Amino acid sequence: MSDHVDGPRSIGDPAADITDLFVFTSPGNPARTVLAMDVFPSAGEDAIFSNIIEHAIAVRRVTVAGIGNAAKFDPEAEEIRFSFRFETLKRDAAGSVIQRGVCKLPDGRELSLTVNDEKGTSTPDGDVRVFAGLRSDPFYLAWDIAILKKLPNLLQHTNVLSIVVEFDTRRMLDLAKGSLFGAIAETVPPQQRNLLGPAISRIDWVGRPEQTNMRLNNPAMSAITDLRDLWNQQTPFAVSKVLAPLFLQRLKDSLVTWDLLDGKADWTPETIAATANVFLDDFLLFDVAKPITDQSHLEIEKSTLSGHPYQTGGGRTLDANCIDILLTWLVNNDREFLQGGASGATKPSLKTFPYFATPNTELQTVTDSVELAATPDDVWSLVGQFGGAWHPQTARVSLTGAGVGQLRTIRTLDGQQIVDRLEAIDDTKRSLRYSNIAGIAASHYTSTLEVKPKGTGCVVDWRAQFVATGKTDRAVKVIVSTLFNTGLESLKSQFGVAK
């Protein structure tokens, strides 16, 4: 998923897991360029930036050093770097919990900012403006890409932590020296001595989308070694010469696999080798002197590999359909456009600063029911006990307190722990409502269980609503649906199915 969860190390540290990098021209002012990076996949509403990680976007001027099968993009040594550090949580004058941070600009100036302040912070003369906060994830993936099966957007309703830098293009980039650049984003931990081994140089970095999850760890390839953590330890703009042959061979093998995924060969060995060489130098190319549009993503690379001058500014807008653009290129060399099962992210981008759409806060719903042959009272006498021991996935239950406010701690057969609180119970109406305190990757989770008469038997309704956090909306729905279905199906053997 773009750069989401791209390796064991980043999966273990989601606050440092970069999900995406974007470069585009400000829709409201063509004289300004926007750099943006996202971290923390499936961030919950209380997600905060790590206070020990440096978040950085670095830009270097690039020259075209070869075309056609000799295509090559050479970055200069000088780096234009925007780095962000964030503090621990504090309270403002009104007592609200806030997080503050500092952005260090390439010339050494520092901009203080408050997380989630949509106005952002600007320099006194307005040449740079920055933002950091929770926003709707603009990335979307609507494929089972290993088998080219269309799906709904797998990241529907998810949020990320976004960092945005907008600046005056000419003042920041000195276009007299050239207008083509490469950008990367990285998360760098404190460099301190590690008694168990060498210091970790970085947690994650990204240039072009899908370098790790689709090219280096191609899901259509079987029994391959996961190279993603090794790749993420490389220095951007300077991949290790010792390890370069390993990565290059994987890129070639991956391109061959993608090419044959539809049963047709559209690439020659020469173009595969040339494209792998371009991908090995992983940075997001953009030319600020040309138009950057929703369709211009990867056009610079494609044109240069084809042996003719590029026409657009490349880059990547928030609304760019980067997966389908990339998949079409890899699978059939742009012979036929491959449109996935969704045509856009959960929300389209904004045309004004900070450009990312507002966070997703809509409650999601899961419902299930079963019709039984027993009377409502007989069924309620079992499921109406808040202890929940009737559920077949329950290994043991412990209760704390009594009545409304009572807590139950459920240990499941697979070793998970779920803590719920009773919010309401009505034995007359055979209904109870509870909230989840821990154990389910969701906030605002409430669930209602009701038993109602139907014919000579009854119907048991179980429903929940929540906002997913830490997992995708789809993943949480699967977890809750499985929990409901397993429980309700078990009642059939005890009470019989209504006829």
Q: Do residue 303 and residue 429 come from a single domain?
A: no
**Model confidence at 61: pLDDT above 90:** yes
Q: Do residue 194 and residue 64 come from a single domain?
A: yes
Q: Is residue 454 part of a domain?
A: yes
Q: Do residue 383 and residue 444 come from a single domain?
A: yes
Q: Do residue 369 and residue 325 come from a single domain?
A: no
Per-residue pLDDT at 197: 60
Is the separation of the CB atoms in 130 and 115 below 8 Å?
A: no
Is the separation of the CB atoms in 125 and 148 below 8 Å?
A: no
Q: Is residue 271 part of a domain?
A: no
**Model confidence at 195: pLDDT above 80:** no
Question: What band does 192 get if pLDDT is binned at 50, 70 and 90?
Answer: low
Q: Is residue 265 part of a domain?
A: no
Cα separation values, 344 from 20, 26, 334, 477, 480, Å: 16, 20, 20, 21, 26
Q: Do residue 167 and residue 38 come from a single domain?
A: yes
What are the residues whose beta carbons fall under 8 Å from the beta carbon of 375, sequence distance 6 or more? 453, 457, 458
Q: How many domains does the chain have?
A: 2
Question: What band does 388 get if pLDDT is binned at 50, 70 and 90?
Answer: confident
Q: Do residue 326 and residue 444 come from a single domain?
A: no
Q: What is the DSSP letter of 70?
A: G
Q: Is residue 258 part of a domain?
A: no
Average predicted confidence (pLDDT) for the chain: 95
Q: Is residue 234 part of a domain?
A: no
**Model confidence at 437: pLDDT above 60:** yes
Give the residue-averaged pLDDT of 468-496: 94
Q: Do residue 401 and residue 479 come from a single domain?
A: yes
Q: Is residue 127 part of a domain?
A: yes
**CATH number of the domain that residue 444 is part of:** 3.30.530.20
Q: Do residue 290 and residue 435 come from a single domain?
A: no
**Model confidence at 129: pLDDT above 60:** yes
Give the residue-averaged pLDDT of 153-158: 95
Q: Do residue 97 and residue 149 come from a single domain?
A: yes
CA 474 to CA 483: how far, in whole Å? 14
Q: Do residue 303 and residue 398 come from a single domain?
A: no
Q: Is residue 46 part of a domain?
A: yes
∠ Cα 142 350 17 (to 5°): 55
CA 37 to CA 54: how far, in whole Å? 13
Give the residue-averaged pLDDT of 281-291: 98
What are the residues whose beta carbons fall under 8 Å from the beta carbon of 165, sequence distance 6 or more? 34, 35, 36, 57, 82, 103, 128, 129, 130
Higher local confidence (pLDDT), 267 or 1: 267
CA atoms within 13 A on the CB side of 277: 18
Per-residue pLDDT at 303: 98
Q: Do residue 286 and residue 429 come from a single domain?
A: no
Q: Do residue 328 and residue 391 come from a single domain?
A: no
What is the per-residue pLDDT across 231-280, written as a single tens digit (0 to 9) for each? Answer: 999 999 999 999 999 999 999 999 999 999 999 999 999 999 999 999 99
* pTM for the model: 0.92
CA 313 to CA 25: how far, in whole Å? 9
313, 332, 351 - which closes a domain: 332
Picking from 65-79, 185-199, 449-463, 477-491, which range would have the lowest pLDDT averaged per residue?
185-199
Q: Is residue 339 part of a domain?
A: no
What is the per-residue pLDDT across 66-116, written as a single tens digit (0 to 9) for each? Answer: 999 999 999 999 999 999 999 999 998 888 999 999 999 999 999 999 999
Is the separation of the CB atoms in 157 and 364 below 8 Å?
A: yes
Q: Which range of residues forms the domain containing residue 299? A: 8-211+281-332
